Structures are given as C-alpha cells and as structure tokens.
A and B are shown apart, each in its own frame.
Chain A
C-alpha cells in the first residue's frame, strides 16, 4: 500500500509537470503580454524596457525555468487587470465555486441514486421507463440554456428567486460561506440546480445499469430467500455492489462540474472561479488563467487518486498494484 501510494505520488507530480509545460507553451505562443502591462502607445524604448523586465528576451527554456520557480514558490505573478497577486484572486473566489459544486453534487446524488435503484430494480415498469427518458433528456439539454430558462421564468417573470450574485455570506475567518444564511440558500438554489442536471442524469443511469447487473446475481436471490427485506436487499446488498462504477463516475463528474461551473457562474453572475476564468480569458489576463489551470490540475489529480483509494475500500477484492 505504501509503495503504491509513493508510486502514485510520483505519477501525480509527473502529470502536474507536464501540465505546467503545456500551459507555459500555450501561453507563450498566444499574443504578446507586453501590451497588457504598458499602454499601447508606448515608445519603442519603453516597449524594449518592458520586454526586458518581463524576461521576454530570454530563451523559452530560461523563461520556463523562471515560470516553474515562481509556481513552486506560489508566485504566479500579478493579474494584469486587478493588479494584485493572481493566486490571491483565485483563492478569494474558491469558496464560492466550492459551494456551488458541493450543493450540485449532493443534489444530484440525493435525487439520482434512489431513482436509479428504483429503475434498476423494476426495469419494466412504465414509471422506470419515464425516469429513463427524463434522464436521457437531462443528458441532452445544454445546461446553460436550462439556466437561462430558469432565470427567465423564476427570476424575471415570477420573481421567486434572485437572478444573480451570491447573497449574504458569513465570514468563518478563512472561508466566506453563503450556506449559513437563508439569503445565501435563496441565491444558490437555481445555479446549483442548473449545474447538477447533467450529473444527476449520468449518476442515475450508472446506478440503474449497475443495479440491473447486480440484481441478476445469485446473492440477491439468496438474500431474499433468507428473509432480508426488499429495502435491505436493494440498498444493503444491491446498491453497495452497484456503487463501484458510480464512484468512478462521481470522481469524473466532480471534474465536469468544476468545468461546467464556468458556464453556470457566467449565467448567474456567481462570483466564483469559473466566472473569473471567463472574464480573464476575455481580458487576456494570463497570470490568472495560469493559476486557475494549475489549481484545477492539482484538484483533478488528487480527485483521481482518492477515487482509486475509495475503490479498495468499497470492494475489498480490488487490490492496488
């Protein structure tokens, strides 16, 4: 187990290094950052001086070395737009995105798993077919369009929910949360629902597929024969064994949620990472884009690692190599 963990850690570092190279190269070949820091009508001499200060006259390898050294020290440079350290900007927005993703995934799991178990255990009922059609529709919907329709109906027409922003937050010292205020919940429901629909549909389908597979096994019939209640059989014996693919999907979905949060946050003007990323792309605010990408890369690598560990915990038959 220890050997495995060390091997995985080395792999994770390798992946992050590759990502840093790719991010660096892409950023180097797109546009000239000089004009992000000095006015466009500067003199030749000023431009040359700025290039020198930014290190743009050095070779790519030297520039990369400086870039990597900065990253390792947590120094990603200053945002061209906000004129503050890019890392601080990102960390300040992190809680908002964390909360919306958390609420979305919990919402998805709470709705999708019971429905998936039901549809998998009773595949031929009309209600199961309806659930499956609805979930297919959920996969086929562009989430940003759903968000817009929710805004139009519930915020603009009927004014039941606010259309943008995060509402009141409570400062916990290191973390500003909106989940402790009624106003915060009022604001988070629509964006979280929008974000969760796709994930809800996918988890539902995975749970159902897993349950259908499991329900054919002998141990299910055996559990019934020995007098386990139907509910106990479905959730204790069935779902537990059907969960393995679902856990993988959970990990992948967490990544997708973070990615699609960019769109949801843009629609609902939610002050999180995703909106910051999109705004930074529009303004070519390179340091912020770089921090975002590196942070997200770290997150995904860690999520994948955790998923692998959780496997062995759910299914003792799987041993790590």
Chain B
C-alpha cells in the first residue's frame, strides 16, 4: 500500500512541482507552530503575571532600543510580539480547521440526503443553499456575529453556517450521478438498507472533489475569521487570533509602532498562501478534466 502510493503518479507530480513542495513546507512549519508554538517562546502572553508594563512598545531587536528577549518587539502591554503571533496562529488555524470539519460533515450529510432521496427534501435543502449563495459569506458571517456577540464558539457556528453550502452542492451533484450507476442498483437489489448504501457505497465515491474544497476553505475561513476579529466581532480579546492582533496593531499604527501589526499580517499571509499553493496542486491533480 505505502510503496504503491510512493510510486504513484500523484507523488511523481508532486516531486516535480516546486510550488506544491513550497506550499507543503510552509504547512509543515505551521503544523509545528500549532503543536509546539508555546514551547518556542519563554513568555505566555496571556499570563498577566509574566507581563511588565516597563517592556511596552519595545521595537524589534535589530532596531535601537530593541532587546533580544523580544525579537519582534512588544505591544502596549509589554507582550512579546513573537509569542503573541505563535499563540494567535494556533487560534486562527484551529478555528479554520474546526469550522471546515463541521461544514464538511454537515454539508456532506445534507448533500447525500438531498441527492439520494430527491423530492421535497432535496428541493428545500437546495433552495436554502441557493438563497444563501446569493449573499457573500463575509456578510452573512458578519451579520450572525453582530447578533451573537464575540466568542470562538460563535465564530465556529457562523463559519459553519456559511461553509456547508459548497459541500452540499458538490456532494448532491456527484450523488445524483452515482445513484444512476449499476453498482448502486445492484446494492439495492441485494437488499442493503439505504443508510448502508449511502455510507459504504456512495460516500467513498463522492469524496475526492471535497478534498480540494476543504483545503481551500480552511484558508478562506482563516481570512474571514481574521476580518471579523479585525472588526471587533470575532474572537474575544482573551484569546486573540492573528486578525485581532492586527486590529490591536492598527490602533497604534499611526504612532509609527508598525511591528505589532506587520508581523501578524506577514504570518497570516504566509499561512494562507501555503494553503492555497497546496490547494492549487491538489486541484490540478484531482481534476480529471485537466489531464
């Protein structure tokens, strides 16, 4: 199995694709940050006992007045910008991944049901999807957050509420064409129950296109979450994501204290760029039309 995968066309193309390799390297670095980020810095930026207001607004270490303790400077509370970014990356990535997983499960389930049973259920689900798709995700999420108030759980609910549609549509489309095929009819004749047919036979055959959708969606979610937090309706200040760090930096940008917003911005850009590079590669590989 493993040997088969290593000599497959997928791996062969991956080795020859510089941007796919670059993208996955970026993602490996971020995976390390998510798993071990807090171990890489000496300060826990959210433990007030470790903060000292005397350290506020120190510039990065290579500038005059900077210290090696704070390689990328500090914010107004004397928080190490590097530590803040590492902790914030964790929040951003976990929100992106969890919201994607929730959207994927809910959307795929609804898409399978709609495609398999058709009829009124299908009409209702797809009608909701149509209406929702005519509004930008960002605006729906903004509206939901303004009603819910801040909180990581609320961000997850809002993102899932906008994210399920794309899975439902994709899965419904592929399910409709799978249901026509002989092996499904054979399974029916063999007396399998609907639930089993859907799970064991249809689901594995409609999964492939979802891989690309899911990958790219993590990046989109991270950006939407950052935008919501930037507007002050995302995560709470006790658990800042990269977007909230940028917002805090924006408040002092006009005083020339650029480092508090520049570094989180660069990190979020690198993160989403890595996801998109890898997503692009997956799209080319998994889309049979381009081969």
Contact = CB atoms under 8 A, between A and B. Distances in A.
A53 to B, nearest CB: 24
Nearest to B266: A145
Given A259-B136, A259-B138, A304-B134, A136 B273 contact: yes
Interface in A268-321: 278, 281-282, 289, 293, 296-297, 300-301, 304
Interface stretch (B108-116, B139-147, B188-196): B139-147
B147 A142 contact: no
Interface string B272-291: 11011100100000000000
Contact of A148 (B135, B147, B226, B253): B253
Interface string B203-233: 0000000000000000100010011001111
B269 interface: yes
Contact of B131 (A18, A133, A140): A18
What DSSP secondary structure best describes chain A's contact surface?
Answer: helix
Interface in B18-63: 19
B262 interface: yes
Contact of B246 (A144, A266, A281, A300): A144
Contacts, number: 104
Interface of B: 19, 131, 134-136, 138-139, 142-144, 146-148, 219, 223, 226-227, 230-233, 243, 246, 249-250, 253-254, 256, 258, 261-262, 265, 268-269, 272-273, 275-277, 280
22 contacts: A133-B19, A136-B273, A137-B269, A137-B273, A139-B272, A140-B223, A142-B269, A144-B246, A145-B268, A148-B246, A148-B261, A149-B265, A156-B254, A255-B136, A260-B136, A260-B227, A262-B139, A263-B227, A281-B231, A282-B232, A293-B143, A296-B135
Given A142-B223, A163-B254, 15 more contacts: A18-B131, A26-B143, A26-B144, A136-B273, A142-B265, A144-B226, A148-B249, A149-B262, A255-B136, A255-B139, A260-B136, A260-B138, A262-B139, A262-B231, A300-B135
